[in-house]
C-alpha cells in the first residue's frame, strides 16, 4: 500500500471502480452505470476468464441446494426467472431432471420434492417411461425422476451483454489490466494502480469508492487494501464429452456430491464436479483420480458414457467465504454470497468486497452491492436490472445444436469454412477481429467456439492465425506467439483425457504442428519467445494450471 502513486502512468478518475470482470463484476458495472454512476471496470484477463468462464454452464433452479440450504435455493429460483427475461440470448431452456440412481438414499427424494414445494421451485415427478422418452440414454435402473426449471447459460455472451449495456450508459472497461497496488490515504482507499499485461503500461485510477468483485482472488485484493478476508478456493473439476448425450440438465437426487451433474452445453455434455480446497487459485492440479471419478460417477447417470470420447478437462475455482474456518468438506460451506463493508468491518473507508454466491445469483449480488454503494455515497437511486433486457449484437446469439448447420446449408452462413468442427466461417472470424484490438485466439474461441470441437484447434488454429495476420497490424512473431499460446492452452485441457480417440487426435495434431509446420523449431526472432515443444511436459497423473489459464 502507499498514499501516493509512484508510477509514471496514465491517470483516470471515476466515481466507482470495479475490480474483476467475471459475471459479478460485469453485473455490478451495469447496475452502477444504469443508476447513473460514472464507473470503470478492470479485469486482469479477458471478460469471464476466471471462475465465471470455468464452470459447467448451469443456470440453477435451486434444486441442488433446496434440502440443505433453502435460502440459497430461493435466491436461485427467483433469479432464474429474472435472468430468463433479461438475457434470453444467453440462456438455453434445457429444463432439468433430478434422478434417483441405484444405491442413492431413497428417502432423499421425498425430502427433495417437499423442499422444492416449500421454497417455490416448480417440480413435477415423471414416470420412468416418460423420463426415458425424454432422455433415452439415461440409466433405465433409475427409480424416480423430478423435472425442475434448470437451464444452460452461455457465460461469455452474458458478460459481453452486461458490458455492452453498461457502456451504453457511459461505463468504461479495461481488459488485461491487473491491479498491482491499492492506493490509500487517511484510512481510506483512494484508487489503484493497474498494469497492462500485454503492453506493460501502467494506469492510475482514482475513485470515490472501489468494489472488489474478484471472487476467489478477493482475499488478495483485500489484503492490498489492508483488510483480512479469507476466501476458500474450492476447485471443481469437469470433463467435456464430445457428444451431447442429453438435452436436459441431469442431476442426481442426493446431497451435493462429486460427479453428480451432467449439463448439455452447445454440442457437448459436461460431467462435474469435484470439490477440493486449493491454496492458490492461480496454481492448482487436475489429477487422474478426479477424471476417473467423473467417468465412474457419470456411468450412474448414462451407463454408456465411457463409450463416448472425453474431449477435455478443466477446473474452476469456487469463491467460498466464511468468517470461521471451513471444515474438511467444502460442500458444507454455504453457496450464499457475502457483501463486506470494510468501513465497519476493518476500519478502511471507500472499499467493499462482494464474494461467494453462484453464477445464477450474480444480478442479486450486484443489486445489493450497488445499494451499499449508494448508501456509502449518500445517494438514493433505484435498481432496474430485474426488468431491463440486456443489449445484444445478434437477435439470438446463444449457440444451439444444428443452428449453424441449417444456416450453412441455406446459404445464410456464407464464406470459407475455417473451423469444420464448430462450423465457423471466415466472415465470422473477420467480423470478430474487427471488433477487438487484441490478437488472442482464445478470444475467438469464447466468441465463436473456434477450436472447441474434437480436433481442439488442430485443423483450424493455423488458419485463424493466418487470417489474423492478414487483418490485424501484427508481426509474424506476434502471430506465431498467438498460435503457440492457443495450442498450449488447448493441450492443458486435453492432457488429462489422453486415451482412445482423443489420444489418436492429439498425435495427429502433433504431427501437423510439429512434424509438418515445425512450430517447435522456429527461432526466437520469428516468435518473440522461446517456444516450448507442444505438449512437452511431464505426465505424472496431473497437469498444472497457472495464471488462470
The pLDDT of residue 222 is 96
Q: How far is Cα 98 from Cα 250, in angstroms, rounded to an integer?
A: 6
413, 301: one domain: no
Tell me how far CA of residue 390 lies from CA of 60, 253, 432, in angstroms: 20, 34, 20
Tell me how far CA of residue 266 lies from CA of 122, 244, 246, 446, in angstroms: 25, 8, 11, 12
Spatial neighbors of 233 by CB under 8 A, at least 6 apart, are 216, 277, 278, 279, 280, 281, 284, 317, 318, 319, 320
413, 516: one domain: yes
Q: Cα 12 to chain center, whole Å? A: 29
Encode the chain (549 residues) as per-residue pLDDT tens digits: 444 445 557 899 999 999 999 999 999 999 999 999 999 999 999 999 889 999 999 999 999 999 999 999 999 999 999 999 999 989 999 999 999 999 999 999 999 999 999 999 999 999 999 999 999 999 999 999 999 999 999 999 999 999 999 999 999 999 999 999 999 999 999 999 999 998 899 999 999 999 999 999 999 999 999 999 989 889 999 999 999 999 999 999 999 889 999 999 988 999 999 999 998 998 888 999 999 999 999 999 999 999 999 999 999 999 988 764 444 454 445 557 999 999 999 999 999 999 999 999 999 999 999 999 999 999 999 999 999 999 876 544 555 677 788 888 888 888 899 999 989 999 999 998 998 888 889 889 988 889 998 899 999 999 999 999 999 988 888 898 899 889 988 988 999 999 998 999 999 999 999 899 988 887 776 665 554 444 443 333 323 333 333
In a domain, residue 433? The reply is yes
In a domain, residue 265? The reply is yes
H/E stretch holding 418 reads strand 417-419
407, 532: one domain: yes
Q: How far is Cα 266 from Cα 223, in angstroms, rounded to an integer?
A: 39
- Return the CATH number at 313: 3.30.9.10
Q: How far is Cα 189 from Cα 381, in angstroms, rounded to an integer?
A: 23
Tell me the three cell numbers of residue 62. 435451486
For helices 441-448 and 155-168, angle between their N-to-C axes, nearest 10 degrees: 100
In a domain, residue 17? The reply is no
Place of cell 451431447: 244
Question: In terms of residue numbers, what domain contains 526?
Answer: 403-537
Q: Using DSSP bridges, classify how beta strands 202-212 and 351-356 pair: parallel, antiparallel or unpaired.
A: parallel
357 φ, ψ (degrees, to nearest 5): 80, -170
By the 8 A CB rule, do 281 and 217 touch? Answer: yes
How many residues are given for the chain?
549
Q: Which of these three, 292, 319, 346, is where a domain ends?
A: 319
Task: Count CB neighbours of 7 within 10 A.
Answer: 15
Task: Count CB neighbours of 320 within 10 A.
Answer: 25
Tell me how far CA of residue 418 lies from CA of 424, 436, 516, in angstroms: 6, 19, 19
281 φ, ψ (degrees, to nearest 5): -70, -10
118, 244: one domain: yes
CA-wise closest residue to 517 among 456, 442, 461: 461
Spatial neighbors of 508 by CB under 8 A, at least 6 apart, are 455, 458
The pLDDT of residue 324 is 47
By the 8 A CB rule, do 63 and 148 touch? Answer: yes
293, 437: one domain: no
By the 8 A CB rule, do 232 and 322 touch? Answer: yes
H/E stretch holding 11 reads strand 10-19
Q: How far is Cα 518 from Cα 538, in angstroms, rounded to an integer?
A: 21
303, 419: one domain: no
Q: How far is Cα 29 from Cα 31, in angstroms, rounded to an integer?
A: 6
Q: DSSP letter at 249?
A: E
In a domain, residue 211? The reply is no
By the 8 A CB rule, do 15 and 206 touch? Answer: no
In a domain, residue 36? The reply is no
H/E stretch holding 355 reads strand 351-356
250, 128: one domain: yes
By the 8 A CB rule, do 90 and 239 touch? Answer: no
269, 418: one domain: no
Report the first-to-last Cα separation within the chain, whole angstroms: 28
Q: Which of these three, 287, 319, 351, is where a domain ends?
A: 319
By the 8 A CB rule, do 326 and 332 touch? Answer: yes
Q: Which of these three, 275, 296, 319, is where a domain ends?
A: 319
By the 8 A CB rule, do 57 and 265 touch? Answer: yes
CA-wise closest residue to 210 among 350, 2, 41: 350
**Considering its fold, how many domains does the chain have in total?**
2
DSSP, collapsed to helix, strand or coil, labels residue 221 as helix
273, 418: one domain: no
In a domain, residue 448? The reply is yes
246 φ, ψ (degrees, to nearest 5): -135, 155
Q: How far is Cα 291 from Cα 301, in angstroms, rounded to an integer?
A: 16
Tell me the three cell numbers of residue 282. 492461480
263, 139: one domain: yes
Rg (CA), the chain: 23
Spatial neighbors of 272 by CB under 8 A, at least 6 apart, are 56, 236, 237, 238, 239, 259, 261, 263, 294
Burial of 350: CB neighbours in 10 Å, binned 0-12, 13-18, 19+: buried
Tell me how far CA of residue 173 lies from CA of 25, 43, 162, 208, in angstroms: 11, 8, 11, 17
Q: DSSP letter at 26?
A: H
In a domain, residue 443? The reply is yes
In a domain, residue 199? The reply is no
Amino acid at each position: 500500500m502507499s498514499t501516493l502513486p509512484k508510477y509514471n502512468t496514465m491517470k483516470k478518475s471515476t466515481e466507482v471502480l470495479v475490480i474483476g470482470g467475471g459475471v459479478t463484476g460485469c453485473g455490478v458495472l451495469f447496475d452502477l452505470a444504469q443508476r447513473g454512476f460514472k464507473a470503470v471496470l478492470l479485469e486482469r484477463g479477458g471478460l469471464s476468464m476466471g471462475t465465471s468462464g470455468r464452470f459447467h454452464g448451469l443456470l440453477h433452479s435451486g434444486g441442488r441446494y433446496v434440502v440443505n440450504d433453502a435460502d440459497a435455493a430461493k435466491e436461485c429460483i427467483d433469479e432464474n426467472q429474472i435472468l430468463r427475461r433479461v438475457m434470453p440470448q444467453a440462456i438455453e431452456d434445457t429444463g432439468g431432471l433430478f434422478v434417483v440412481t441405484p444405491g442413492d438414499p431413497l428417502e432423499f427424494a421425498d425430502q427433495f420434492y417437499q423442499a422444492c414445494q416449500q421454497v417455490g421451485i416448480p417440480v413435477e415427478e415423471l414416470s420412468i417411461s416418460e423420463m426415458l422418452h425424454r432422455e433415452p440414454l439415461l440409466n433405465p435402473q433409475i427409480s424416480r425422476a423430478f423435472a425442475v426449471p434448470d437451464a444452460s447459460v452461455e457465460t461469455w455472451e452474458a458478460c459481453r451483454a452486461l458490458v455492452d449495456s453498461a457502456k451504453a450508459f457511459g461505463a468504461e472497461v479495461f481488459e488485461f489490466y491487473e491491479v498491482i497496488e491499492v492506493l490509500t490515504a487517511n484510512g481510506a482507499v483512494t484508487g489503484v494502480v493497474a498494469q497492462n499485461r500485454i503492453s506493460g503500461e501502467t494506469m492510475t485510477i482514482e475513485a470515490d469508492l472501489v468494489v472488489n468483485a474478484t471472487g476467489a482472488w478477493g482475499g488478495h485484493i483485500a489484503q492490498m487494501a489492508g483488510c483480512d478476508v479469507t476466501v476458500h478456493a474450492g476447485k471443481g473439476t469437469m470433463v467435456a464429452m464430445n457428444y451431447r448425450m442429453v438435452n436436459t440438465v441431469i442431476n442426481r437426487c442426493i446431497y451435493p456430491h462429486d460427479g453428480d451433474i451432467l449439463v448439455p452445453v452447445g454440442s457437448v455434455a459436461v460431467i462435474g464436479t469435484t470439490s477440493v480446497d486449493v491454496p492458490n487459485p492461480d496454481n492448482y492440479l487436475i489429477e487422474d483420480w478426479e477424471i476417473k471419478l467423473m467417468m465412474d460417477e457419470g456411468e450412474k447417470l448414462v451407463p454408456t458414457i465411457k463409450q463416448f470420447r472425453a474431449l477435455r478437462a478443466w477446473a474452476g475455482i469456487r469463491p467460498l467465504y466464511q468468517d470461521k474456518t471451513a471444515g474438511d468438506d467444502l460442500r458444507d460451506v454455504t453457496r450464499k454470497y457475502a457483501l463486506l463493508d470494510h468501513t465497519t468491518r476493518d476500519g478502511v473507508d471507500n472499499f467493499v468486497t462482494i464474494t461467494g454466491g453462484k453464477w445464477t445469483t450474480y444480478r442479486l449480488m450486484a443489486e445489493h452491492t450497488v445499494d451499499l454503494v449508494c448508501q456509502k455515497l449518500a445517494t438514493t437511486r433505484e435498481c432496474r436490472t430485474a426488468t431491463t433486457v440486456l443489449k445484444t449484437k445478434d437477435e439470438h446469439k446463444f449457440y444451439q445444436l444444428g443452428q449453424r448447420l441449417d444456416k450453412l446449408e441455406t446459404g445464410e452462413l456464407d464464406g470459407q469454412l475455417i473451423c469444420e468442427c464448430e462450423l465457423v466461417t471466415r466472415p465470422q472470424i473477420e467480423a470478430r477481429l474487427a471488433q477487438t484490438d487484441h490478437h488472442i485466439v482464445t478470444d475467438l474461441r469464447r466468441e465463436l467456439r473456434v477450436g472447441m470441437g474434437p480436433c481442439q484447434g488442430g485443423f483450424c488454429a493455423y488458419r485463424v492465425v493466418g487470417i489474423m495476420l492478414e487483418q490485424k497490424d501484427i508481426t509474424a512473431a506476434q502471430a506465431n506467439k498467438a498460435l503457440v499460446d492457443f495450442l498450449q492452452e488447448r493441450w492443458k485441457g486435453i492432457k488429462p483425457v489422453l486415451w482412445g480417440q482423443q489420444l489418436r487426435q492429439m498425435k495427429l495434431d502433433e504431427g501437423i504442428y510439429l512434424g509438418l509446420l515445425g512450430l517447435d523449431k522456429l527461432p526466437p526472432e520469428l516468435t518473440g519467445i522461446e517456444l516450448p515443444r507442444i505438449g512437452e511436459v511431464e505426465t505424472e497423473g496431473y497437469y498444472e494450471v497457472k495464471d488462470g489459464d
